[in-house]
Structure 1
Amino acid sequence: MSALSKRRLKMWIRLLGVTRSAEGELREFLRVKHGTTLPRFDVMAALYRRRDGVTMSDLSRMLLVSNGNATTVVDRLEADGLVRRSPSDVDRRTVYVALTPEGLSAFEGLAADHEAEVDRLFEGLDEADLDRLTDILKRLGGGQ
């Protein structure tokens, strides 16, 4: 292994550490401050972006989770009145899920607090840092 290769490996480990640490803090923040979980937040965020609703299969694909995992989270959100399921008019095997008005309102409050917490987690980065880091990550991710 070259010296550059070893540095890239160390960078990868550091990147994973930062990601895991931030995710852990966000999980704890959502649990303590809002009595919710990151998977619930992620499902609500996906549904917020697609206000007309999505199929359960599409939701699973959007979140990169199994249908079973998505179903479990949606079941709980539905029991809490935050999402609703509705059958397709065309294919009775297809079910759409969308935020209810209560879910929409709840998510907007959650999202604002989530954004503030992310801002706090990365408050040590100024605009120039963010520009450089964004550029680097875009290059690593193929410009996405």
Structure 2
Amino acid sequence: MSTTSKDRLRLWLKVLKATKAVESEVRENLRREFATTLPRFDVMAALVQHEKGLKMSELSGVLKVSNGNVTGIVERLVEDGHVLREKVEGDRRANLVRLTEAGKTEFSRQAEAHEGWIAAAFAGLNPDEVQGIAESLEAVARRLENGGKS
């Protein structure tokens, strides 16, 4: 393995370590400050982007998780009054889920706090470093999404 390959492997491990550390911090802050979980936050984040709501299968697709994973999370959000679940006209097996006004308000509070946590996590980086790292990671993602081609 060349030095360049080893350096790239080390970089990957550092990206993973940083990702796990930031995610752990976010999970703990959501639990402590809002008595919620990251998956619930993620469902609300997806729904806030789709004002008219999403079918459960669409929501699973957006989140890249199974329908079974989403069902329990949605149930809890319904119980909390943050999400409405409605039957889809013409498809009695499908449910449409969307945020309630209370859900929008709660998500707004959580999202504001989340933004602050992320800002604090990356506070040691200057704007040019943030931009450079973001562009580099985006280039990696884009190349992989294009089947390894630039």
The TM tier, using the shorter chain, reads over 0.9
The structural deviation recorded for 1:37 is 0.4
Distance between the aligned counterparts of 1:114 and 1:131, measured in 2? 20
2:135 corresponds to: 135
Distance between the aligned counterparts of 2:79 and 2:53, measured in 1? 17
Distance between the aligned counterparts of 1:140 and 1:102, measured in 2? 38
Which consecutive residues of structure 1, in runs of 5 or more, have no partner in the other structure? none
User: Higher mean Cα deviation, 124-133 or 38-47?
Assistant: 124-133
Alignment of 1:62-101 (within 5 A): 62-101=62-101
The structural deviation recorded for 1:121 is 0.8
The structural deviation recorded for 1:89 is 1.0
SS at match of 1:93: strand
TM-score, structure 2 normalization: 0.93
**One-letter code of the match for 2:42?**
D
Which portions of structure 1, spanning 4 or more consecutive aligned residues, are displaced by more than 4 angstroms? Answer: none
Identical-pair percentage: 42
**Alignment deviations for residues 100-139 of structure 1 (CA, whole Å, 9 cap, x no partner):** 1110111011101111111111111111111111111121
Distance between the aligned counterparts of 2:14 and 2:138, measured in 1? 18
The structural deviation recorded for 1:93 is 1.2
Distance between the aligned counterparts of 1:34 and 1:73, measured in 2? 15
1:61 corresponds to: 61
Question: Cα RMSD (Å) of the superposition?
Answer: 1.1
Distance between the aligned counterparts of 2:142 and 2:69, measured in 1? 29
Distance between the aligned counterparts of 2:142 and 2:64, measured in 1? 19
1:104 corresponds to: 104
Distance between the aligned counterparts of 1:90 and 1:9, measured in 2? 51
TM-score, structure 1 normalization: 0.97
**Alignment deviations for residues 51-70 of structure 1 (CA, whole Å, 9 cap, x no partner):** 11000001011111110110
**One-letter code of the match for 1:10?**
R
Which consecutive residues of structure 2, in runs of 5 or more, have no partner in the other structure? 146-150
Distance between the aligned counterparts of 2:126 and 2:10, measured in 1? 24
Distance between the aligned counterparts of 1:7 and 1:62, measured in 2? 33
